[in-house]
Amino acid sequence: MAAIGSYLPHYDCGTIILNVSAATFTKAQKRWRVAYVAICSYRVLLSLSKQNVVRQQKASSATLFHPHFAVEIQPAISYHHNDVDIPKPHSPNHDLPDIDPTELTKMVKERDEVSFRRFGGVEGVAAALLVDPQHGILGNEDDICRRRDKFGSNTYPKPPPKGLFYFVKDAFKDTTILILLACAALSLGFGIKEHGPSEGWYEGGSIFVAVFLVISVSALSNLRQERQFDKLSKISDNIKVDVARDGRRQKISIFDIVVGDVVFLNIGDQIPADGLFLEGHSMQVDESSMTGESDHVEVDRERNPFLFSGSKVADGYARMLVTSVGMNTAWGEVMSSISRDINERTPLQARLDKLTSSIGKVGLAVAFLVLVVLLIRYFMGETKDDYGNKEYNGSKTETNDILNSVVNIIAAAVTIIVVAIPEGLPLAVTLTLAYSMKRMMADQAMVRKLSACETMGSATIICTDKTGTLTLNQMKVTKFWLGQDDMGEIPSNSISPSILELFRQGVGLNTTGSVYRPASGAVFEFSGSPTEKAILSWAVHELGMDVERLKQTYSILHVETFNSEKKRSGVSIRKNADKTIHVHWKGAAEMVLQMCSNYYETNGTMKSMDEDARNQFEKIIQGMAASSLRCIALAYKQISEVNEDGETNKKLNENELTLLGIVGLKDPCRSGVKKAVEICKSAGVEIKMITGDNVFTAKAIAAECGILGPDDSEHKGAVVEGVEFRNYTHEERMEKVNKIRVMARSSPFDKLLMVQCLKQKGEVVAVTGDGTNDAPALKEADIGLSMGIQGTEVAKESSDIVILDDDFTSVATVLRWGRCVYNNIQKFIQFQLTVNVAALVINFVAAVSSGEVPLTAVQMLWVNLIMDTLGALALATDRPTNELMKRAPVGRTEPLITNIMWRNLLAQALYQIAVLLTLQFKGEKIFHVGEKVNDTLIFNTFVLCQVFNEFNARKLEKQNVFQGIHKNKLFLAIIGFTIVLQVVMVEFLKKFADTENLSGLQWALCIAIAAVSWPLGWIVKFIPVSDKPFLSYLNRAGQALGRILHRTQLSFSSLGGGSGKRGEAQTC
């Protein structure tokens, strides 16, 4: 009956009985007909007393009746068992059983063992869900839709994303904006009262419109950024998992999992849904994300079969049966209530916040002085109206006029603050990071943490893996040694059958991979890691391995999964026929060799491994490794079933093994790696390769990739093994760590140790990793780079950036983008500070000397819009250039505003100040124009100066600021848009902007004055600058002044003390 139960899920018995006449029945079909009728009759009887049976059943009766649960007639599917092909029915009718989803959900959530036993264990649940534990669900569209409709999808509702209104409301939290709106309201009220509704609304209304534009552009920019981050988060959440469907192992999205799916779990995987342990070995789960407990939980069929969504596989491997998905899991309930908040402040943003605060304080001080000066001049009667009359005549002036004038003065002062405070700096960083993240995604790098974008630009060392990063990770067995014979030209049929059988056992049963052969075709499909797939493929095609036959012939007793420290995996198996037990090991050749005391020859003769034989094998391994081959050895030992205590052996025997053979796997280097390594080296970034491979393989690959040069090969200490590095003293490690280029046979602890040493020496370290055990090093590094294809979910969650194609070339691309982010922000800072310095000085000097501010509130807000938002968009979207990779890395403590930037911005600011103050005081006489036209000339020239200076800001050091400008279409579009809007402001919105029409000659004059900034910028870049930070001179001057004041204070103190003493003496 057990045999029938195991095959029933695969056969469509109803089709056999209904569609085939009794005359044509084969013997097998007649047996199936009898079994089918008997079981169906028995199930009818059972259903009459189902409730009573459920109440009274015991564990033993559960085993008896639940196999009958499995006799559900499945729809169209064809399987081959014992050479009997069961055809597909033409019109399947496959309804899901009447099982309550909440009962399944509750059973797993509450770890309800009573309900679990009542179902009949995991086999009973699988049968109730119409699932074949080996082959999974049918996987066709109808089956998946039915399961999704009944049990739900593996998704959960998220909080609604922030809309435009949220960001508009957020913009109103700015104090200066609120003050401006209050001034606009007062100005509007006084204007309408004084000049009537038709004329009096212009000034107040203009400020309202200008403020609305600033808020709208800011809100739209933030909304765009939010949507960009939301899109990236959806991509990062879309994890791929391995499932069995229709007998075939395939990768699907975590969102496509349905109840009944059989999921394959390996070390580092995230459990995608709630479910039950089907089968596996050494399974340990990290449930800290759900329970907060850091201890790993052991999972097995008997004591604890429950698996929870969101947990991580800490050790072992397994197949699980999905019982609950989406909102029916505890993880789904938690995640649906969490909103992803993009309020992460990067280190660069924190530095810019300080800069913004400092500039804002200066602006506030200037605005306060302007306010005081203008109020004093007004109340002293030194200001005049448009008709040349004094604005303030003491008691003769009406209260409304006084209030209106005071409000205008306050609005002017507040507008200076608006222009002075560089709100564009945070926006520029946000835009740069958002744009860079989007472009990096196209370049196969997904940013998980914003700070990594900018930190990568400062990286001085990259510690990289070998397999899959420097190489293609496309393994193929190219060498095979049996004993001391190279089997390259020798056919496998010349190998002893007993040796061949041992090889098949060691490959087919000691693996986390799988072999699938579709019924329709002869092409095998292999799944698993690249190494596993390569060895499985070799064993199937060269050694004639049949995995299904092996699984039927042998039973797996215990498994030790591959460990990155031991670098091997093992399995103990028992032959079903004679109960003999074999232990098989597979792993790093030189490590497995140390465990062996015998070896086999081609003819099946076992020989003792003496010192000479061991040396010979070591030479074979070294020769293969020097040819860039990964060497894997297979060994075995026959053991007894029980130990002295009478218990089954769980720890696999590692001593006195017999070496079966050694295979060499070729993994070619990626085509662009050598060039990428050269680019990184030219950028002042050192590359270190840390690998678990043999030292000879590591040296060969490192030399091929350009990491290890001819000089390094001769230099002692450039190549070390992990154990050697580990055994150094701390002082020795700190002394030698910079010299190391390659570390072979390293453990995850060695990688972590190297990262810590490098950081202690002041290096900015980037580390690549793909395994679960790489997580500590990825977290410790300044930038953790995980692999998107081979990387485990634990590694990805510990990293800052995911390299989607696992290619080192993409790591070099991330380095370019990191430098580009930093460079783009520096461009914008130079541009913004130029405007700030010029605007503050011009307004302050004009206010103090003449009592008038040359630019109105609306004009200043327009300049603010150009400078902050449009300028940030234009300069923050430049793509990385080759020049960036020819500079040394930016240090952690280097100033954000370099001496080169100070030189450029001060030259441009001084030019603008000189020109605009000349126009302010002498413009009317020089150009023979009225005050209104002169004010318009000042405004127009100031704006055009910023447009021309935007070109200068594109290149901080190079004279040719137009290089590559045609590639940045957005920059050209923004420049064009700014010029068009400026023409509209001057020529068509005269009342709104308080301007006058300019003639063609006057426009040409404004353009000519502004265009001088191009040759000025070109000339200024010839001036050499000191490497010492500019502000350090100011600090030194401040310290000197402080010392002088301190000494003066001491002198006065001593004088005061002396006179006191003399006074006391006289009193005495």
Q: Which residues are catalytic?
A: 465
Strands 306-307 and 606-608: unpaired
> Collapsing DSSP states into helix, strand and coil, what is residue 107?
helix
Of 11, 61, 53, whose CA–CA distance to 36 is shortest? 11
Of 446, 582, 451, whose CA–CA distance to 506 is shortest? 582
Cβ neighbourhood burial of 713 (10 Å; 0-12, 13-18, 19+): middle
Residue type at 264 in one-letter notation:
F
Read off φ and ψ for residue 502, nearest 5 degrees.
-65, -40
- Distance (Å, rounded) from C-alpha 61 to C-alpha 596? 49
Displacement of CA 368 from its chain's centroid (Å): 46
Read off φ and ψ for residue 422, nearest 5 degrees.
-80, 75
From residue 555, alpha-carbon distances to 284, 430, 552, 653 in Å are 22, 58, 8, 17
Strands 554-563 and 581-588: unpaired
> Collapsing DSSP states into helix, strand and coil, what is residue 9?
helix
Of 548, 542, 588, whose CA–CA distance to 565 is shortest? 588
The two structure tokens encoding residue 551: 């699984």
Read off φ and ψ for residue 695, nearest 5 degrees.
-60, -35
Displacement of CA 802 from its chain's centroid (Å): 5
Sequence-ordered list of residues with C-beta below 8 angstroms from that of 14, at least 6 positions apart, any chain: 36, 73, 89
Rg, Å, the chain Cα set = 39
Torsion, CA 79, CA 84, CA 86, CA 87, rounded to 10: 100
> Collapsing DSSP states into helix, strand and coil, what is residue 631?
strand
**Tally: H helices and E strands in the chain:** 42, 28
Helix extents (H) in 518-584:
530-542, 547-553
Element (H, E) at 202: helix 202-237
Sequence-ordered list of residues with C-beta below 8 angstroms from that of 928, at least 6 positions apart, any chain: none
Q: Round to the nearest angstrom and report the end-to-end CA distance of the chain.
A: 123
Of 816, 860, 872, whose CA–CA distance to 680 is shortest? 816
- Distance (Å, rounded) from C-alpha 93 to C-alpha 390? 97
Of 664, 694, 509, 502, whose CA–CA distance to 599 is shortest? 502
* DSSP 8-state class, residue 87: P
Sequence-ordered list of residues with C-beta below 8 angstroms from that of 1031, at least 6 positions apart, any chain: 895, 897
Q: Quick check: 691 and 744 in contact, CB under 8 A?
A: yes
Written in H, E and C, the secondary structure of 636-671 is EEEECCECCCCCECCCCCCCCEEEEEEEEEECCECC
Sequence-ordered list of residues with C-beta below 8 angstroms from that of 246, at least 6 positions apart, any chain: 77, 135, 136, 137, 138, 139, 140
Q: Quick check: 910 and 945 in contact, CB under 8 A?
A: no
